[in-house]
Amino acid sequence: DAGVIQSPRHEVTEMGQEVTLRCKPISGHDYLFWYRQTMMRGLELLIYFNNNVPIDDSGMPEDRFSAKMPNASFSTLKIQPSEPRDSAVYFCASTSRTSGSIDEQFFGPGTRLTVL
Amino acid sequence: GNSVTQMEGPVTLSEEAFLTINCTYTATGYPSLFWYVQYPGEGLQLLLKATKADDKGSNKGFEATYRKETTSFHLEKGSVQVSDSAVYFCALRIQGAQKLVFGQGTRLTINP
């Protein structure tokens, strides 16, 4: 089975540009999480969805960040405008309340974002 | 609030050495505890977990015991291999919640 799919794997952009990161969760999973990983702050939860509905966005750093989940198989994280301090690895993860182990989150390979 | 504190890295060991990575937590109620591992260039993978006090999680030669009295979940392995080189994250999940709270991660390097 395919795992969590993220695209692009690497993104280099200039300050002020819009960036869109994409995630396809594992089929059948009803929870989707977006994380950001940096050397300074470690792994931070940005937002998570249940059945396509945002449940907790308290980790979203500011209004420049937005996330959507238009259907069960696709989510986006958008940064507009981007700034150099947004440079990080962004991970998407999914899990399911109905899976054998609701505790395990399955992570994608991440998108490495560099804002120049 | 809920938080996880891990021993600071990086940790460098020789092959076949004994490994301990310390993890302590602060949480309301009775959390589930986890160790995730991140190999270079990859996302995190669940390594092991424990859902109640005195439970021992184990996988791939790694072990961790849920110690409620010391609020700890230390990761151990008796004989590490070069392939164990990775970043290890301790995490907790509060009962009834879906969010994981991660520690800062500990980078482990094993030299041949």
Please, are residues B72 and B64 in contact by the beta-carbon 8 Å criterion? no
C-alpha span between A14 and B36 (Å, rounded): 33
pLDDT at A42: 87
Q: Choose from B33, B35, B44, B48 for mutation: most chain A CBs within 10 A.
A: B44
A3: amino acid identity, one letter: G
The string of pLDDT tens digits covering residues A11-60 is 999 999 999 999 999 999 999 999 999 988 889 999 999 999 999 999 99
Whether the CA torsion B9, B110, B74, B95 is positive or negative: it is positive
Q: Collect all residues of chain A within an 8 Å Cβ-Cβ radius of residue B100.
A: 45, 105
Q: Residue written as tokens 């308290």? A: A58
A56 touches chain B (CB under 8 A): yes
A4:B43 CB<8 A: yes
Give the pLDDT confidence of A50-79 residue by residue, as tens digits. 999 999 999 998 899 999 999 999 999 999
Disruptive mutation site among A4, A53, A97, A105 for chain B (greatest number of B CBs within 10 Å): A105
- A100: confidence class by pLDDT, cuts 50, 70, 90: very low
